[in-house]
Structure 1
């Protein structure tokens, strides 16, 4: 891949170092802040690596929306549509061909690939993107890939990437792999705090913050809420109370692919967009035109209760890593503003990272697979 056609982003400065690291050994860790461009530039930059040969690069994304968006952006950069040099595969959806050199998949797809054929024929490298999320499928996929690398494929390259990650701990897991860090983000983000009063519903606080932000700032707004119910209630509170040039768009996991893809498209010329999203919009996607992020500070995570044998969703405070990821959505294409609905002092009390899903989830599904 001729790097001259690739945009110049913060991660570009470390691409030669990363290439040298993977040429000399079979694993590496890349830590790069939100907006650095790692998701789209790293796989394209590795297409020229001598060790790639006729093999493919498999890029793992934690969510279907992120996988489709990453594949489309990389395909756009090489002047193609998905299904050519860059393709994607996930449950019930496949856009690949014999020419595909970069295959973007959701995390569960890699596990199935390894279980079907542990040698991973035709795969030269596996990249784990946004690994800090520590999803069950992501952790299981890395464990399987390490087994494949150690027993069958010492030539298989493994690269773990994240914006907020304890690189040294992951490097130890990868037998002392080099940790490469990309400093800085594409654009600065001004972080502000607007505490939600005690007793005020999160929907009311978010609606108030959105109206204030739209009046004071330019551009579109991305608002993070814990779940679909809060998104719908916030939309109700904003109905007929925003300007005629402003569209309200929901974004959560239960929407169909077309609605999700429409939510991350830029607003039409002369219009503004308010995207009400869950953590699905936290990583690996860029919504052009968004320069304001409003973070409720809440997310909804599954918790398995052994006593009842049931998994329930629990609303919890976000981690520092998640808060940083959310704020980073505002600085993707221009200088931005991130408004957090809590006191600045409360940030220090947030957990550093979201607990690994494997510690909280029902593992019976993984064992049965």
Structure 2
């Protein structure tokens, strides 16, 4: 199957041959996470390793497994991953998918990034402290120690011009592939629990539509309570969040023979494409880390999800 991003790979390669940096803008599902790193391995300037940064552990592992599958080999050989909780890599690894925190530690320990030919910052539009700091350190290393180092910022939204100005880089844009979407706002009662409203919406979706269902909830507690209310449905029920066992995460992502419902946090919002999903039920709520100036610490706050996040 041809992915949309493949059409702009020649332009991206030309940009990285002519200069050190590039910005790739490609919509969700275009294939930038799974296709770009492997496509750059054969370039004349790429004698070392390519680091692909992912914002989440689940997405990093899933991306590495998918890239390895496309290469026809098990993960841990030429394609590997490294996260805080898990790692599969070897001396043969040429593409290493790692979380932003792991990259921050690596570049602080080795500012020259010895043996690395390129760093790809995936989903840069999400803007986290680790991502921004990692990019700043990489640009600093490129300017002072490694002028041959290639840096690519990859974004699913059309804010690539800001990163292009920061990195002094051209923007390569993939049109992607889109299908018609029908949006239904069913609302919810303010006094009702979110679990009751979500369970009712999911049951309605199963009755009225075909295909698998992906439902977004703000946290693990809401997922578990919604799962309790969905007992007995005519579909396989999966949970998807960062604290799950990797085998359970893989089962939720993998397409099955039977219809399924996936109850997920925002971990499934980016860097991850789940095969078979035709229906998305969004609670409209998200749990974010917010700094409390009065307490002097960061705490999790449940708030309305932004329109950009819901669209993604």
Matched pairs, number:
312
| Inter-partner Cα distance in structure 1 for 2:128 and 2:285 | 18
- 2:44 corresponds in structure 1 to 50
| Superposed displacement of residue 320, structure 1 | 2.7
Could you tell me which runs of 5 or more consecutive residues in structure 2 were left unpaired when the two chains were aligned: none
Is 1:273–2:265 an aligned residue pair? no
| Superposed displacement of residue 151, structure 1 | 0.9
Q: Supply the RMSD in Å over aligned alpha carbons.
A: 1.4
Q: 1:262 aligns with which of 248, 251, 254?
A: 251
Contact 1:9-1:186 within 8 A present in 2 as well? no
1:192 partner SS: coil
| Inter-partner Cα distance in structure 1 for 2:153 and 2:128 | 14
Is 1:308–2:281 an aligned residue pair? no
| Inter-partner Cα distance in structure 2 for 1:149 and 1:187 | 40
- Structure 1 segment 1-369 matched on structure 2, within 5 A: 7-52=1-46, 54-175=47-168, 177-185=169-177, 187-240=179-232, 242-243=233-234, 246-267=235-256, 269=257, 271-325=258-312
| Inter-partner Cα distance in structure 2 for 1:300 and 1:86 | 32
| Inter-partner Cα distance in structure 2 for 1:254 and 1:158 | 31
| Superposed displacement of residue 152, structure 1 | 0.6
- 1:340 corresponds in structure 2 to none
Deviation per residue, 1:285-330 (Å, 9 max, x gap): 22222111111111100112132123221112222321122xxxxx
2:250 partner SS: helix
Could you tell me which runs of 5 or more consecutive residues in structure 1 were left unpaired when the two chains were aligned: 1-6, 326-369
TM-score in terms of structure 2 length: 0.96
| Superposed displacement of residue 165, structure 1 | 4.4
Deviation per residue, 1:30-51 (Å, 9 max, x gap): 1111111110011111112111
1:71 partner SS: helix
| Superposed displacement of residue 196, structure 1 | 2.2
| Inter-partner Cα distance in structure 2 for 1:303 and 1:63 | 18
2:183 partner SS: strand
| Inter-partner Cα distance in structure 1 for 2:58 and 2:180 | 25
1:315 partner SS: strand
TM-score in terms of structure 1 length: 0.81
| Inter-partner Cα distance in structure 2 for 1:38 and 1:18 | 11
